[in-house]
Chains A and B, each alone.
Chain A
Amino acid sequence: MTLTAQADVVDEPDRIRHPWGARTAFRADEQWPQRVDMQLADGIDESQVDRWAVSASLLHSNGDAMDIAVKDDRIVGVRGRAGDRVNRGRLDVKDLFAWQANNSADRLTLPMIRRDGGLEVASWDEAMALVVDRTRGILEEEGPSGLGFYTSGQLFCEEYYTLALIARAGLGTDHLDGNTRLCTATAAEALKESFGSDGQPASYSDVDHAEVIALFGHNVAETQPVLWMRMLDRLESDDPPRLLVVDPRRTPVAERATVHLRPRPGTNLALMNGLLHGLIAGGLVDLDFVERCTQGYDALVAMVETCTPAWTEEICGIPAAEIDAAVQLLGSTDRLLATVLQGFYQSHQATAASVAVNNLVLLRGAIGRPGAGVMQMNGQPTAQNTRECGANGDLPGFRNWENTDHVEELARLWNVDPLQIPHYAPPTHAMQIFRYAEQGSIKLLWVSATNPAVSMPELSRIRRLLGQDQLFLVVQDLYLTETALLADVVLPGATWGEKTGVFTNADRTVHLSEQAVAPPGEARSDLDIFLDFAARMDFRDRDGRPLITWDDAESAFEAWKRCSVGRPCDYSALTYELLRQGGVQWPCTEQAPTGTERLYTTGVFPTDPAVCESYGRDLVTGAGVDETTYRAQNPAGRALLKGCEYRPPAEVPDNDFPLELITGRTIYHFHTRTKTGRTPELEAAAPEMWAELSADDAAGLGFGEGDPVEVVSARGRVRATLRLRPHRAGTVFLPFHYGYWDTGIALGPEKGQVGRAANELTATAWDPVSKQPLVKSGTCRIEAVAS
C-alpha cells in the first residue's frame, strides 16, 4: 500500500510516516531552533564515520545543507548541518534515504554505443570520438542549427556555465535549454516582467517574520518539506502566522490554512485579478509605495475594474465570500510573504498569473522588508544555476540578449566575436528544440541529467521523436533511464557526492558540494565530460587560444565569478573556502561580503534599460516589447505593475472528458524516480501509480477508495489506484513520477497499451510568455479497468 504522510507531532518520528519530524516551535522574530536530522546505514554510528564531506540537497529546490558520511570510501549516510541558515540541521525525508541510490547496483559505469540496434558497452574514447565525429559532420553539413542541448536542474553551476560556453561560443547554437523549462521558467519570466531581472526578492528567513503567508499553487509540504517545517514550527507557537492557500487540492498546507481557495483549474489569473480588484476597491493599496516605486498602476486598475467578487466567483467557482475573506487577510498586515510554484507555473496563463502575485505584493508595498516579499519558487535543486549560467538559453549572468552592450561584454569575457554568440532571437526553448528534432532540423540532441521520455508532456510523441533514426541522441545519466534506452550514445555520469561544485537554492543561497567518494567504474563528472568534448572539438577564442580556460570545478567557479561581476547575481566575493563554512546568499561582493538576505530593500529595481535582463513581453501573446518602447516607458528603477486579461483555457471539460486533470508530486519521490525509486524506504512508501478524486465524484462514477481505474485523456490512458481526497469537485490529480524502467515495458506502452506515466495524458501546449508546458491544464475521464 501507499503511505499517507502524517503531520502528528511525535518524539521519535518514523520519518517515512512523519516526514516533517518533531516540532520546535518559535515565535515571530525569534531564531528558528536547530534540530539535527541524521540517517546512517544500519549498524553505523557517528563515531564510526571516517570523514564528512560538505554538501546540500540535490533532491528538491530547498538547498538543505548537510554533510555526507563516508566509511571505507562508500557513502554511508547524511547529517543535516546545524548552523546553516537554510535548514538549521533539518533534512527532507528524501535526503535522509536517497543517498543509497548512489550505491545502486545498476549504475552506469561505462559508456554505451548503439550497434545493430542494441546498446553495447564501449570505451570513453570510442564514445566521445563518435559524438565529436557526428558533431563535426553536422556542423559542416547544416551548421550549428542542427545541434541541440537539453540539460537539467540537477547539475552544478560550473557544469552549466561550461555547457553554456560550449553551446553558445564554441558551437554557436541557439538550441540550449534545461528541464527547468518544465519547472521554473515561469518563475524567471515573472521576475523579469515585474522587476527587470531574475533573482529571488525574498528569503526563507522571511517566514520567521511574516504575519500572513500566501501560497499560490505551492504545496510546500511536499515540494520543500524543510521550509514547511519552518512554517509548521511558527504555526505551533502562540503567535502563528495566518495562511492563505490557493490550490484546488486539499493539501497538507491547505489543512492549516486560515483561508483555502480552490479555484477551477485554468482560472488562476481570473482569481488573481479578483484579489487585486478587492485590494483596490477596499482601499488596501499602499499608494505611497506604489507612487514612489512602481509604474503602471492606472492601467492595472483599469484592467481589473470589472473583476468583482461576483465575476470571480462565476469563473473560478469560489464563493464571493471566500474571495472577500482572502482580500481581507492579504490587506491585514504589512508583513505579507507570498510564494508561488507549479500550481501557477504549469497552468494556463502561467506567467500572467505569477506576475499578478508580484503585482499583489507591490500594491501592498510588501517587499524588501523582514517578513514582506515574494518568492517565485523553483522546483529543482540547481534550477537557479541553470538560469544564472545561461544553460536555459538565456545569456549567462542574467544578460539581455537584445542589449548589444551585454552581448559585447560577454564576447570580451570569452574573447570571441560577438557574432559568434547567437543573440538574434529569443533562445530556443525546450518544447521548440523537441519540435525541431521531430521535424528533423535538429540532428543531434544531447540530453544531460534528465529524462524527457517520462517528464515531457504527451509521451507517445516524445518517444516517437526521440526514437527516430534521423536523430542522433546522446544521453548522459546515472542509470539506463527510459530516455537512455533510446540513445545512440550513453555517457555514464557522476553525481552528488562523487564530484565537486556549487549550487544555489530558491532563496539565492549558494552551497558547496564536495566530492566524498569516487564515482563508480568509469563514470565521470558532467564537467569532465563537457571539458573532454571541448578539448576534442578544439574550440578556440579569437586569438587562437583554447576557448575554455579552466580544467576543474574550482577554476570553472572562478571563471563563472568573473562572468557574474556587476550583474544582479554577483558571486565575486564567494570562494570554495568561504562556502565550506555554510551557505551564502548572492549577491556576495566586496560591499556585501557575507551575502544579501533580501533584494530591493531600498525600493529600487533592476529595470533600468542598461541593466534589465528583458524589455518584457506581451502577457497574452508573448510578443517582445522592443527596446525603444521600453526606453520610452522610462521605468528608471521602478518595478512594473503589469495587468493581463483572463482568457479561458483551450481544453475545457466536455462529454468525452468531463474532469479536469492536474499532475504533481509526492514527498517521497523526485522527478522520474531515478534515485528515489532505487531507495528501498522511499519506494516502499509510494510504490505505485495512483489517482486522487473527491469522494462525491467517485461515488457518482461508482468507484471507491483503492479501486483500480484507468484515467483517459485525448492523448493516452494510464492505470492507477484510486484515492479519495477532499479536493475540488471534478478535479483528478495524478503524480508525475512514475515511468517504465522498473516495469515490464521499459520502452513505454505501445499504441493501444495502457501506460502508467501521467504525461501519457498531458498535452503539447505551453505558456506563450515563459514557454513552460501546461501540464496542469487538461481534461480526462475515469473508467473501470477493462477486464
Chain B
Amino acid sequence: MSRAAGVAHALRRAHAGERRMIRLLEELVNDNGQEVEIRHVGRDILAWSLDSAAMLERIAQDREVELTTGPVTVGQPWGPVDPAVLQPLRTIFLIASDNSLAWELVAQVAQAEGIADLLDLARKRHEYTLRQLRWANTMIKTASPQVLATL
C-alpha cells in the first residue's frame, strides 16, 4: 500500500464509522417509542457525529480521497443479544468503540506522515467519540439493574 493509501484507509474508516453512528442515532432520535433520555441526548451526540463527518469530508476533499457516500446500514455487531433499552445502548457503545479505534488510526497515520491538520482533527474529534462511548456506558450501568431484575 502506498503512503497515500494509508491515509485514505484511515479517513474512509473514520468517515464510515461516523456515518454509521449518524444513521443509528437518527433512527433512535426519531423513534417516539424510544426512552426520552436516549432521544434527547441522542440529538446532541448526533450533532457531534455530523460535525465530525463533515470535517472528515473537507479534509478528504483537500487530500483528494474519495469517501463512500452511498446508503449506510447500522448492522448489529454480533447480533441482538440484550433485552429492552440495553440493545440500542449496546449498539451505540460498540459503534463508538469501533469509531474510537478508527480515530486512533487517523491520529497514528497523521503522526507517521506528519500531516498536522489531520492530527489536529483527530485530537479534537476523537474526544467526542469517547464521550459517546462513556454516555452509552453510563446509561447501560444505570438501566441494566432494573431491566435484568424484571426479565
Contacts and interface: CB of A to CB of B under 8 A. Distances in A.
A620 B131 contact: yes
A768 B134 contact: no
Contact of B44 (A145, A620, A764, A765): A620
A521 interface: no
Contacts of B145: 145, 174, 422, 424-425
Interface string B30-63: 0000011100110111010000000000000000
Contact of A621 (B35, B36, B44, B149): B44
Contacts, number: 65
B139 to A, nearest CB: 8
A313 to B, nearest CB: 22
A142 B149 contact: yes
Contacts of B150: 142, 145, 441
Nearest to A422: B145
A624 B135 CA distance: 7
Contacts of A620: 41, 44-45, 131
Nearest to A764: B36
Contacts of B41: 620-622, 768
Contacts of A428: 146
A143 B134 CA distance: 29
A624 B136 CA distance: 10
A426 B142 contact: yes
Interface residues of B, number: 23
A150 B135 CA distance: 26
Nearest to A426: B142
A318 to B, nearest CB: 23
Contact of B146 (A436, A618, A650): A436
A621 B135 CA distance: 6
A425 B131 contact: no
Interface in A616-656: 618, 620-624, 647, 650
B146 A145 contact: yes
Nearest to B149: A145
A182 B140 CA distance: 24
A145 B149 CA distance: 7
B97 interface: no
Contacts of A618: 131, 134-135
Contact of B131 (A424, A441, A623, A764): A623
Contacts of B35: 435
Contacts of B142: 425-426
A496 interface: no
Contacts of A650: 40, 43
Contacts of A424: 141, 145
B146 A441 contact: yes
A622 B138 contact: yes
Name the interface size band of chain A: 20 to 34
Interface in B52-91: none
Contacts of B40: 650, 765-766, 768
Given A425-B141, A765-B36, A621 B47 contact: no
Contacts of B108: none
Interface in A598-629: 618, 620-624
A622 B149 contact: no
A766 B134 CA distance: 19
A623 B144 CA distance: 15
B83 to A, nearest CB: 12
Nearest to A617: B138
Nearest to B144: A425
Nearest to B136: A623
Contact of A766 (B37, B47, B131, B132): B37
Contacts of A622: 37, 41, 135, 138
B146 A624 contact: no
A620 B44 CA distance: 8
B94 to A, nearest CB: 16
Interface in B88-118: none
Interface string A118-134: 00000000000000000
A624 B142 CA distance: 10
A622 B139 CA distance: 9
A764 B37 CA distance: 10
A143 B141 CA distance: 19
A143 B148 CA distance: 12
Interface string A758-781: 000000111010000000000000
Max chain A Cβ within 10 angstroms of own Cβ: one of B45, B47, B149, B150: B150
Interface in A442-462: none
Contacts of A765: 36, 40
Contact of B138 (A143, A422, A436, A623): A623
A765 B38 CA distance: 11
A435 B143 CA distance: 12
A428 to B, nearest CB: 8
Contacts of B144: 425
A647 B137 contact: no
A707 B134 CA distance: 51
Interface in A730-774: 764-766, 768
Contacts of A422: 145
Contacts of A624: 134, 138, 141
Nearest to A624: B138
B43 A621 contact: no
A519 B92 CA distance: 55
Contacts of A435: 35
Interface in A174-218: 174
A428 B134 CA distance: 19
A142 B41 CA distance: 31
Contact of B149 (A143, A764, A766, A768): A143
B90 to A, nearest CB: 15
B47 A647 contact: yes
A623 B137 contact: yes
A650 B32 CA distance: 14
Interface string B111-130: 00000000000000000000
Given A143-B149, A650-B40, A766-B37, A621 B141 contact: no
Contacts of B137: 623
A143 B37 CA distance: 26
Contacts of B146: 145, 428, 436, 441
Nearest to A621: B135
Nearest to B133: A623
A583 B134 CA distance: 44
A542 B36 CA distance: 40
B57 to A, nearest CB: 21
Interface string A398-427: 000000000000000000000000101110
Nearest to A618: B131
A426 B146 CA distance: 12
Nearest to A145: B149
A622 B43 CA distance: 14
B131 to A, nearest CB: 6
A769 to B, nearest CB: 10
A435 B84 CA distance: 14
A424 B141 CA distance: 8
A281 to B, nearest CB: 23
Contacts of A143: 149
Nearest to A349: B44
Nearest to B35: A435
A163 to B, nearest CB: 20
Contacts of B45: 620-621
Interface of B: 35-37, 40-41, 43-45, 47, 131-132, 134-135, 137-139, 141-142, 144-146, 149-150
23 contacts: A143-B149, A145-B146, A145-B149, A422-B145, A424-B145, A425-B144, A426-B138, A435-B35, A441-B150, A618-B134, A618-B135, A620-B131, A621-B132, A622-B41, A622-B135, A622-B138, A623-B137, A623-B138, A624-B138, A766-B36, A766-B37, A768-B40, A768-B41
The 6 lowest CB-CB distance pairs between A and B, nearest first, are A621-B135, A145-B149, A623-B134, A623-B135, A623-B138, A441-B150
Given A425-B141, A620-B131, 8 more contacts: A426-B138, A436-B146, A621-B44, A621-B131, A621-B134, A623-B137, A623-B138, A768-B37
